[in-house]
Amino acid sequence: MAKSLTFKVLALTLITVLIGVGLVVSYFLITQNRDLLREREAGAAQQTEILHESIKNNMLVGTAPIARGLLSDLKKVQSIREIALFRANGIEAFSDNETIRLVNQALGAEPSVPSEPQESDADVEYLTDQSALFQAAVRTQSRQISTYGTTGGRELVYYVPLENESPACTRCHSAALSPDPNVRGVIRITTSLGDVDRKIRQNTLASVGIWVGIVAILTVAISFSLDKLVLKPIKVIGEVAGEVERGNLEAKVQVRSKDEIGHLADQINHMIVGLNERLKLTKFVSQATLQQVVSGSELALGGEKCQLTVLFCDIRGFTTYAEQHDPQDVIKVLNLYMQRQAGIILRAGGDVDQFVGDEILGVFRSETMAEDAVRAALDIRAAVNGLNISQELNIHVGIGIHTGLMIEGNIGAQGDIERLQRTVIGDAVNVGSRICDVAFPDEILLSQATYDLVRAKSWVGTARTVQVKGKSQPLTVYPVLALSEHSSA
């Protein structure tokens, strides 16, 4: 089933709002969460810098115990999960006396004796670090930072190398004592990102809530606006178009705006006016003309020969009637009788070619055109008699019918002046008109050609010979009494 325009518009609106608002909210959420992480990284960097300076200044010859104590105190800071100092070879500093022995040997001094009892090197548990970040800090002598996930959540780790910056440093951390003579150690600080992650989750939930709220509000607002400003006016236009399709050319669209919808409504109204005008114009042309226009064929002068039957019906004595009555009454009576005759011709399968004063010309084109014309003539005679009774008038008609070869086409003018008329012309048409002229009131006369086609289906009176205008030889005509019962069936 085809989706309605309302559904399509609402779906497009919802998708647009979802994507648009989602992108905006996502941008601010990502920015906020990134700032949180950067803030934590900045804090860790600041703490690392303080530790770096403190340890660097307290690791000169003879002051290592001070640095060791400082490191021990810094490990108790709650905001830092772990602080560790490593030698350049990746082993935790101050975890044994190896460095002291190597330094004393290098200086040619006796090994110093710790003031407090020390665990043997074999009993000491110490940290090691051979990670890629650690090695990168030693190799590049630059700080390294990274985050990683653990079972307890994400953590931030920061590596800061301690450079050999003075002769006092290089005496203890020479090439013989360090894998890299330019680096004497690396500080590693690890801090938990649990509070940051909680804040990120809170921000995410809040952002989702804001996103849902904004989407709902915008969807309702936009849908309401679209429905009022676009969909309802289009629906009204569609309803008017439906009325026009059903033949109601009085329908109009109320133009309530000056935008594109209002312009469309105005155009629809102009179209209806044009259709109404054209519908009225169709009443002034024959069915053959309308069919040619609808077919799309070229409207050019000229025509073609066709075997057709013409019916001429003339009101007898109507000129005298018109002289004796008011013109409005004359037109009213003439239209009443002509309307009844035209309806009968159309229902019999013919076409009303034209009205000429008080005379009507009907054209029949089917295989039974002669019989159809006779039937129409009989019905016209009966209808006129019926109208005379109801209107208390004494009007009579004479009818002539002829079948022959004639030209059907367009006549008129083209060029600067465009005026065309589709009609039938030729000697056969003239013969039909002349037969009508000699018919008595209430008489239907058939030509020899038409009589030959309906001979077995009609009752006729005695044939007679008549002399008509424009013909040197007289014509034989047959007055019609009725169609046979077999033909009527």
From 49-58, 131-140, 240-249, 417-426, the region with the lowest mean pLDDT: 49-58
Query: What is the reported pLDDT for 380?
Result: 95
Predicted local distance difference test score (pLDDT) of residue 403? 96
Q: What is the pLDDT of residue 450?
A: 95
| Nearest-angstrom CA–CA distance, 215 and 220 | 8
Residue 435 in this model has a pLDDT that exceeds 80: yes
Q: d(Cα 169, Cα 181) in Å, to the nearest integer?
A: 10
Using H for helix, E for strand and C for coil, what is the string for 123-159? HCCCCECCCHHHHHHHHHCCCEEEEEEECCEEEEEEE
Instruction: Flag the least confident range among 96-100, 272-276, 417-421.
Output: 417-421
Mean pLDDT of all residues belonging to the chain: 77
Q: Is 62 left (phi over 0), alpha (psi -120 to 50) or beta?
A: left
The answer to whether 172 and 164 have CB atoms below 8 angstroms apart is: no
Instruction: Write down the pLDDT at residue 88.
Output: 80
pLDDT class for 488, splitting at 50, 70, 90?
very low
Classify residue 239: in a domain, yes or no: no
Residue 364, SS3?
Answer: strand
∠ CA 142-146-149, rounded to 5° = 160
**458 within a domain of the structure (yes/no):** yes
Rounded to the nearest 10 degrees, what angle do helices 5-57 and 64-74 cross at? 150
Residue 409: domain span: 303-488
6-10, 172-176, 424-428: least confidently modelled range:
172-176
- Within a domain: residue 9? no
What CATH code is carried by the domain that includes residue 384?
3.30.70.1230
Q: What is the mean pLDDT of residues 336-352?
A: 92
* pLDDT of res. 1: 39
**0.75 cut: is pTM over it?**
no
Instruction: Flag whether 116 is in a domain.
Output: no
pLDDT digits (tens, 9 = 90+) for 46-64: 766 776 666 666 554 445 5
**414: in domain:** yes
* Domain membership flag for residue 399: yes
Give a yes or no: residue 292 inside a domain. Answer: no
How many folded domains does the chain comprise?
A: 1
444 occurs within a structural domain: yes
Average of per-residue pLDDT across 313-330: 86
